[in-house]
Amino acid sequence: MAFSRAPRELLADKRVVTIGGGTGPFAVLSSLKQAHCDITAIVSMADSGGSSRRLMDEFGQLPFGDLRQALVALSRNGVLWRDVFNFRFPAKQEKEALGVGGHSLGNLIISALQDINGGDLLAAIQDAQELLETAGNVLPVTLDHTMLCAELDDGSVIQGETNIDLRGEQETGTLAPVRRVYLDHPTLPCHQALRAIRRADVIIIGPGDLYTSIIPNLLVEGMARAIRESEAEKVYVCNLMTKRGETDGFAASDFVAVIHHYLGGRVDRVILHDGTFPDALLENYAAQEQHPVQPNVESVQALVPEVVVERLTAPNVDYVRHDPERLVRAVLAPYLVSSSVTARFGASSPGAPF
């Protein structure tokens, strides 16, 4: 790919906000941290499993899993510290484990920092950022305890992010589609997160599990409105694969339509993978009833001003993931003189160019 300028230079001194949760934002953040821009990662606080669940039950703390992963993605303090935060103590049977068995060390560090700061989670995150020498800031979308719920087409309700996330692995047979997701009670936003959105030049939504990593952020009071009203350019990075129990049979336009529904407005640009995968890799995913998201460009074009289609997968890996460098280049593609983008459609985005 030939550029008249290094792609990251286009982000110099700009305020970039990412919104998501889980492992999805890692690819975006790990590449953005090499740019000289002001990064704020806003993460979901709906996690309800694993080490986060135990800390919530034992100490009444908010879930730290998504915060930890964003901090690690932005870390500039070497591999050792990243490995420390990602280390998980082994447990033969996590549900019965006592002490630190089964816990993520990073979660325990954040928990300790919160105690040191008198229960102030934002101060704990700032200390963690100092330890990891992060290239940006990480913010929880809310400081309230909340529970994600999903109503299915058959009228049944699933409570808890983990139960929604894992039902495709735990249940057999045909699964009822998700009709809607919601929080179990009104949830106030983190005001610093709202401020970051209002001041942003670019807002990148995703990638990540649609109903369990991305939409929970939009369900927090005031968040969707703040994104709609922000003068930033709003970019949505679509998933590479469908997920059993959440997005079975979804094409790219289905993902975009759901984002628009919960956002209450549209994004300015959608980033799509071109649909190419190694056959052997697809066979492994098909066995789990996960399939490539079809880039139905014309249908997406009817929903947004601009669509960018690019080969986004990481090469030579045994699983499907976004390649950090390719993904950020695709986000920047409309502002590059020359790019390998295979298709670009639609009028110029009304958002402020950067």
pLDDT band at 40 (very low <50, low <70, confident <90, very high): very high
Q: Does the pLDDT at position 347 exceed 60?
A: no
> Which of helix, strand or coil describes residue 98?
coil
Helices (H), the chain: 26-32, 50-59, 65-74, 78-86, 105-116, 121-132, 161-170, 191-199, 215-219, 223-229, 252-263, 279-286, 297-301, 324-332
- Residue for token pair 């599990």: 209
CA nearest to 313, candidates 238, 228, 219: 238
pLDDT band at 49 (very low <50, low <70, confident <90, very high): very low
Q: Rounded mean pLDDT of the chain?
A: 84
Q: Which residues pair with 19 in a beta bridge?
A: 42, 205
Lowest mean pLDDT among 153-157, 227-231, 338-342: 338-342
- 93-113, pLDDT tens digit by residue? 544 445 655 668 888 899 899
How far apart, in whole angstroms, are the C-alpha atoms of residue 284 and residue 164?
22
Question: Which span out of 16-30, 81-95, 112-126 was modeled with the highest average pLDDT?
Answer: 112-126
More confident residue, 86 or 61: 86
The answer to whether 326 and 312 have CB atoms below 8 angstroms apart is yes
Q: Does the pLDDT at position 56 exceed 70?
A: no
pLDDT recorded at residue 77: 78
Domains of the chain: 1-41+142-354 (3.40.50.10680), 46-140 (no CATH)
Q: Does the pLDDT at position 338 exceed 70?
A: no
Q: What is the mean pLDDT of residues 286-314?
A: 93
The answer to whether 224 and 218 have CB atoms below 8 angstroms apart is yes
Lowest mean pLDDT among 16-25, 91-100, 152-161, 253-262: 91-100
CB atoms within 10 A of CB 340: 13
Say which DSSP state 190 is in: P
- Residue for token pair 């460009």: 297
First to last CA, the chain: 20
pLDDT recorded at residue 27: 84
* Biggest distance spanned by C-alpha atoms of the chain: 58
pLDDT recorded at residue 91: 67
How far apart, in whole angstroms, are the C-alpha atoms of residue 262 and residue 318?
33
Residue 336 has which token pair? 């590059």
pLDDT recorded at residue 23: 79
Residue 39 has which token pair? 């990064």
H helices then E strands: how many in the chain?
14, 11
pLDDT recorded at residue 193: 98
- 174-198, pLDDT tens digit by residue? 899 999 999 999 999 999 999 999 9
